[in-house]
Amino acid sequence: MLKKTITYKDFDDNEVVEEHFFHLSKADVIEMNFSKKGGFGAWFEAMTASDDQDQIFQEIKKLVTKSYGVKSPDGKRFIRNQEVREAFLETEAFSELLTALCTDEDASAAFINGVFPAGLEEDLAKIAAKQNKVVPVDPRLLEDTQPLDPVDVPFQKARMAVDPAQNRVLTQIEVQAMDADELKHLLAQGATIAPQI
């Protein structure tokens, strides 16, 4: 869960300092992963590589809106219903936060890292591994050309060595993050590539 202290001026021109909370559960992110072509990692890469400022703004706004909520008094629930969201969207706190996230890449990266739950990459890898399908390898990935740049996503961990006996299933995020030589080596050891979700 991410706690943000936001300073803004209300509609009576008073300076207000408030704490607001943002959180996505593992279930939220898994649902997002299934709903995005190529999974969440591919969506995130496309968004950050885009020159379409309106698209970036809209995606950040969706993420802020989806993740905003209030903690229940007993701390067991994070309430994100329509009433709670609309109340936040109607404040200048929302406007200040959105402006900061759209004008400061470090702030937006910190926000994204803060709302995503820990341990997510392992869960997404397990889901991908349960898919018993093997997808063909894009031949461009095997060419001896410029290596692919690593994908900077909130839940990416360091690459792990493949145990040939386990016939490892590589996620789409892992494939995008490794260079052609490493991919060839892993495929030669018997690794397969999980299908795009």
Instruction: Answer yes or no: do 94 and 167 share one domain.
Output: no
Average pLDDT of span 11-20: 95
Instruction: Answer yes or no: do 16 and 102 share one domain.
Output: yes
Judge whether residue 141 has pLDDT over 70.
no
Last residue of a domain, one of 117, 144, 172: 117
Q: Which pLDDT value is given to residue 195?
A: 64
pTM of the model: 0.59
Instruction: Answer yes or no: do 104 and 54 share one domain.
Output: yes
Distance CA 101, CA 37 (A): 24
Instruction: Answer yes or no: do 129 and 149 share one domain.
Output: yes
Q: Which of 79-83, 107-111, 151-155, 188-192 has the highest mean pLDDT?
A: 79-83
Q: Which pLDDT value is given to residue 164?
A: 44
Tokens describing residue 79: 């309430």
Provide the domain limits for residue 20.
Answer: 2-117
Query: What would the pLDDT profile of 113-137 be if each residue is shown by its tens digit?
Result: 888 887 777 776 676 666 544 555 5
Q: Which pLDDT value is given to residue 13?
A: 94
Instruction: Answer yes or no: do 70 and 165 share one domain.
Output: no
Instruction: Answer yes or no: do 143 and 104 share one domain.
Output: no
Half-sphere exposure of 17 (CA within 13 A, CB side): 1
Judge whether residue 163 has pLDDT over 60.
no
Distance CA 6, CA 17 (A): 6
Instruction: Answer yes or no: do 112 and 126 share one domain.
Output: no
Phi-psi region of 194 (alpha: psi -120 to 50; beta: other; left: phi over 0): beta
Q: Which pLDDT value is given to residue 95?
A: 94
Contact 148, 177 (CB under 8 A): yes
Contact 15, 9 (CB under 8 A): yes
Judge whether residue 31 has pLDDT over 70.
yes
Higher pLDDT residue, 78 or 171?
78
Query: What would the pLDDT profile of 39-72 be if each residue is shown by its tens digit?
Result: 666 777 777 677 778 888 888 898 899 999 999 9
Instruction: Answer yes or no: do 107 and 47 share one domain.
Output: yes
- The total domain count for the chain is 2
Instruction: Answer yes or no: do 71 and 155 share one domain.
Output: no
Distance CA 94, CA 38 (A): 30
Between 20-24, 77-81, 110-114, the lowest mean confidence (pLDDT) is in: 110-114
Q: Which pLDDT value is given to residue 11?
A: 92
Higher pLDDT residue, 93 or 43?
93
Instruction: Answer yes or no: do 77 and 171 share one domain.
Output: no
Judge whether residue 4 has pLDDT over 90.
yes
Q: Which pLDDT value is given to residue 108?
A: 84
Higher pLDDT residue, 172 or 55?
55
